Amino acid sequence: MYRYDEFDHAFVAARVSQFTDQVERRMSGEISEDAFKPLRLMNGVYLQLHAYMLRVAVPYGTLDSRQMRKLAHIARTYDRGYGHFTTRQNIQYNWPKLSDIPAILKELAEVEMHAIQTSGNCIRNVTADHFAGAAADEVADPRPYAEILRQWSSVHPEFSFLPRKFKIAVIASEHDRAAIQTHDIGLQLKKDDQGRFGFAVWIGGGQGRTPLLAKKIKDFLPEADMLSYVTAIVRVYNLHGRRDNKYKARIKILVHETGVEELTREIDAEWAHIKDGELKLPQADIAAINAYFAPPELGDRAEGWGELAAWKKSDPGFAEWVGRNVAPHRHPDYAMVTISLKPIGGIPGDASADQMDAVARLAEEFGHDEIRVTHEQNLVLPHVALADLEPLYRALLADGLATANVGLITDIIACPGLDYCALANARSIPVAQEISNRFGDSARQADIGDLKIKISGCINACGHHHVGHIGILGVEKKGEELYQISLGGSADENSSIGQITGRGFGPDQITDAIETIVDTYLAHRSSADEPFIACYRRIGADPFKAALYSSEAEAA
Amino acid sequence: MTVIWTQGGIVENDPWISHGAEDAPKLLPLAEALEHAQDNAPFGVALQPADDVRALAPILDRVAIIALTFPAFSDGRAFSQGMLLRERLGYQGEMRAIGTVLLDQVPLMLRTGFDSFEVDHAPTIKRLVEKRLPGIDLHYQPAADQTDAGASYNWRRTAILNG
């Protein structure tokens, strides 16, 4: 993984001093709260319902054990003993004191971490496929490009006060595990028939109150042009994006209102002026960054094949966990292991300091010291030998980290909601917990199969409800929490925006409603091999609506 | 109090300051500036964020000063306008930030090509006069200021400015 050089160390240290000075000037009244707000946001500091919140960047979701231990230490020392992994592969702490934040940032800098641009109307922390560097289906590791983008976008003088936040995601396979079509810019690394690398470029994806999928504007942008082309996009957006209404300020609205062809013409015209300038990426620089991401030495461990089969046979719990949480690695003797942060009845994405320490220890022992954070709020050990799966499983079990539910109905994405968030209209966490408890039986979950539920506590859609197979949106109506359901969303290479079913459900009805939807699916699926989303796409919304609202129709 | 600041310090008796003397030359809006381009008197232009700076291309050599407006500290359009003026149009004359000019934005303005600043926020003026700018002297990207490419990566720049 990337290691800071002197430049990076000095930069992050300078950023900490800069923010410390800004906090002092805010305390003394030299900066107004209004003017301070974007400065603290660009350093990851939010003011929430009950306290400040600090969001720490985990660039493209990659961590090593030393960094994970530091995150555990911060949770223990400055917070209440836990942290919350987010849908942007970051971690947030919900209870730090503002006066402790400069100290936390200093501690993070010791392990090459920071909170730069995890919020604010700037280019946010760049995300990537959480299986990068390990997946069998990628053309190359996308993270070096994400790292180049991270560096280039850090305290960018032209793009620090954009109309609105700006999110970039990078993948390197046809199967999209990073939801690039919901990003302001999505980049898919590709290799052409002459072995050259380049990107398919999407722009204008976003969720919030106007969910729109990104549009592809380039099939193959040579890798050397990545920074100049992204600069052209962001410059056109900075000059022309709407600033009169924050809900219409994302680039998705500019794409929508200008038209993708016209906007692409403007971007290409801007790009023509800068493509052969200073931002052209020399091959040597790309190679130098790539070298940091050299895969670990993965020696042959063929003994794992036989052992794995035997272990699975003797322990159904282990077999179930392997079935759900373990995915094939590029190296046939290895696997990618997802550590679910969705215990039955738990808070999605939360991890205690002890659990973080445990993951750090296991990454060292079994995982070549690499950890990933997924946008689905789980953790991944991307390089585990098949021969180590059983001892890893035993250790995870002991720390409450062996929940075998990846991709199942209880692997729920949920925003923090009204329990923490100043923007929320309704609670998300208790809804997630109740659904998790209702469907927690492992046989029942397995029978239902792949099903993604995503819950947001307000229209800003941090819980990605628009792209959930089942999306739940909490709203407030006449002082009461009400939950709207949408169906048919998806955030992969076949992205779609879910459709609202009809009137919403109260907090005490929403889990029953989800159960009705699940029962309807089970009754209509062509076989157990037809997953929920495929069934929904085949039969449409009507059977689900009929089931959800039939008693009402009868009553009327 | 409104002052004009440059990296050389406070500029006394600047002719282009807002609310200057009655007979002082005025900064003209874009449309008027284009109309007056044939006049002999030196004139300056004050652009609004929605103006297309490229319209100035034919008259750039006759413009004494270009002021770009920050209607609010959160409105960053003038950063891109500044980049276009310097990098695209090759404008080398004075480029002034007017409107809401606050300390923490000044280093970004310096990097995007601004070289004079109309400031009325007292704590900002104090820090500028003390030459205590809150910028970071290491840059991950080229901009319009005079910085050299870093040793490791072509796109990465190290700084010589305090900006």
pLDDT digits (tens, 9 = 90+) for A123-140: 999 999 999 999 999 999
Q: How far apart are CA A335 and CA A82, in angstroms?
A: 28
* Six-digit token string for A355: 């659990």
**How many Å lie between the alpha carbon of A90 and the closest alpha carbon of chain B?**
22
- Check if B108 contacts A (Cβ < 8 Å): yes
Q: What's the Cα-to-Cα distance from A46 to each of A18, A42, A337, rounded to whole Å? A: 18, 10, 32
CA distance A322 to A387: 12
Which CATH architecture fits A6-110? Answer: 2-Layer Sandwich (3.30)
Cα separation, A105 vs A122, in Å, equals 19
Summarize pLDDT for A129-182 with one digit per residue, the tens. Answer: 999 999 999 999 999 999 999 999 999 999 999 999 999 999 999 999 999 999
| pLDDT score of B36 | 82
Dump strand ranges (E) for A251-292: none
Q: Is B139 in the A-facing interface, judged by CB distances under 8 Å?
A: yes
> Of A51-60, A523-532, B14-23, which gets the smallest average pLDDT?
B14-23
pLDDT at A99 over 90: no
Of all residues in chain A, the one with the smallest CA distance to B143 is A157
Structure-block tokens of residue A59: 């660039």
- CB-nearest to B141 from A30, A152, A239 is A152
pLDDT at A555 over 60: no
- Cite the residue boundaries of each domain of chain A with CATH code 3.30.413.10: 135-291, 419-555
Task: Give SS3 for A120.
Answer: coil
Pairwise CA distance, residues B69 & B90, whole Å: 19
A25-51: average pLDDT:
90
CA distance A473 to A424: 10
Q: How many angstroms separate the CA atoms of A325 and A319, rounded?
A: 10
Yes or no: is domain A135-291 CATH 3.30.413.10? Answer: yes
Does A303-398 carry CATH code 3.40.50.1980?
no
User: Does residue A273 have a pLDDT over 80?
Assistant: yes
Distance from CA of B63 to the nearest CA of A (A): 23
**In whole angstroms, what is the distance from residue B92 CA to residue A192 CA?**
43
Report how far residue A117's alpha carbon sits from residue A119's, in angstroms, rounded to the nearest whole number. Answer: 5
pLDDT at residue B160 above 60? Answer: no
Give contacts of B74 with chain A, Cβ < 8 Å: 38, 121, 161
Task: Dump pLDDT digits (tens) for B31-44.
Answer: 999 988 777 778 89
* Ranges of H-type helices in chain B: 30-35, 77-83, 106-111, 122-129
Q: Which CATH number fits domain B3-134: 1.10.10.10, 3.40.50.970, 3.20.20.70, 3.30.360.10?
A: 3.20.20.70
Beta-carbon separation of B79 and A160 below 8 A: yes
Split at pLDDT 50, 70, 90, the class of A49 is confident
Contact A14 B142 (CB under 8 A): no
For B101, nearest residue in chain A (alpha carbons): A35
Statement: residue A554 has pLDDT above 60: no
Q: What is the distance between the alpha carbons of residues B152 and A294, in angstroms, rounded to a whole number?
A: 18
Rounded distance between C-alpha atoms, residue A182 and residue A176, angstroms: 11
Closest CA to A72 of A353, A351, A362: A353
Distance CA B77, CA A160 (A): 10
Q: What is the pLDDT of residue B42?
A: 81
**Diameter over CA atoms, chain B:** 54
Is a pLDDT exceeding 50 seen at residue A22? Answer: yes
Confidence class of residue B163 from pLDDT cuts 50, 70 and 90?
Answer: very low
> What is the spatial distance between Cα A521 and Cα A123, in angstroms, rounded to a whole number?
40
Instruction: Tell the residue number behind the tokens 């709207």, with chain if given.
Output: A484
Distance CA A423, CA A251 (A): 22
Determine the pLDDT at residue A359.
98
Under 8 Å between Cβ of B59 and B89 = no
A120 has pLDDT over 50: yes
Residue A470's H or E segment, with its range, is: strand A470-477
pLDDT bucket at B23, cuts 50 / 70 / 90: confident
- Out of B79, B88, B158, the one facing A158 most closely (by C-beta) is B79
What are A6's two structure tokens? Answer: 């002197």
| pLDDT, position A552 | 62
Q: Mean pLDDT, chain B, as a whole number?
A: 91
Task: Provide the pLDDT for residue B162.
Answer: 45
Q: How far apart are CA A326 and CA A134, in angstroms?
A: 12
Q: Name the minimum distance, in Å, from the CA of A214 to any CA of chain B.
A: 24
Within 13 Å, how many C-alpha atoms sit on residue A336's CB side? 23
Which single residue is written with the structure tokens 């070549």? A368
Average of per-residue pLDDT values in chain A: 96
Dist CA A190 CA A187 (whole Å) = 9
Whether A186 shows a pLDDT value over 60: the answer reads: yes
Q: Chain B: nearest CA to A25, how far in angstroms? A: 9
Name the pTM for this structure: 0.96
* pLDDT tens digits along A298-328: 999 999 999 999 999 999 999 999 999 999 9
Of the pLDDT bands very low, low, confident and very high (cuts 50, 70, 90), residue A507 is very high
Q: Fill in the DSSP letter of residue A422.
A: S
Distance (Å, rounded) from C-alpha A467 to C-alpha A214? 13
Measured in degrees and rounded to the nearest 5, phi and psi for residue A67 equal -70, -40
CA B3 centroid distance within chain: 14
Q: Give the residue extent of every domain in chain B.
A: 3-134
CA pseudo-torsion sign A178, A179, A183, A185: positive
Interface of chain A toward chain B, CB-CB under 8 angstroms: 5, 7, 10-11, 14-15, 18, 21-22, 25, 30-31, 35, 38-39, 121, 148, 151-162, 227, 235, 238-239, 243, 273-274, 277-282, 285, 288-289
The answer to whether residue B134 scores a pLDDT higher than 90 is yes
The pLDDT of residue A556: 46
Q: Do B79 and A10 touch (CB under 8 A)?
A: no
**Would the pLDDT of A269 be above 50?**
yes
List strands edge to edge, sheet with B27-28.
B9-11, B3-6, B116-119, B94-99, B63-70, B43-47, B27-28
- What is the rounded distance in angstroms from the CA atom of residue A24 to the CA atom of residue A65? 33
Domain(s) labelled CATH 3.90.480.20 in chain A stretch across 303-398
Please list every residue in chain B whose beta carbon sits closer than 8 Å to the beta carbon of residue A156. Answer: 140-141
In the predicted model, what is the mean pLDDT of residues A374-399? 98
A162/B76 touch (CB, cutoff 8 Å), yes or no? yes
* Reported confidence tier of residue A347, pLDDT bands at 50, 70, 90: very high
Which token pair is A335?
């696997």
Name chain A contacts of B111, Cβ cutoff 8 Å: 157
pLDDT digits (tens, 9 = 90+) for A422-455: 899 999 999 999 999 999 999 999 999 999 999 9
Instruction: Read off the pLDDT of residues A50-94 as tens digits, 9 standing for 90 and up.
Output: 788 999 999 999 999 999 999 999 999 999 999 999 999 999 999
pLDDT class of A408 with cuts at 50, 70, 90? very high
How does pLDDT run across A198-216, given as a tens digit for each residue?
A: 999 999 999 999 999 999 9
Minimal-distance CA residue of chain B relative to A31: B123
Q: Which helix (H) or strand (E) holds A554?
A: helix A542-555
- Measured between beta carbons, the chain A residues lying within 8 angstroms of B155 are 148, 151-152, 227, 278-279, 281, 285
CATH number for the A419-555 domain, one of 1.10.940.10, 2.120.10.30, 3.30.413.10, 3.40.50.10170?
A: 3.30.413.10
For A475, the 3-state DSSP assignment is strand
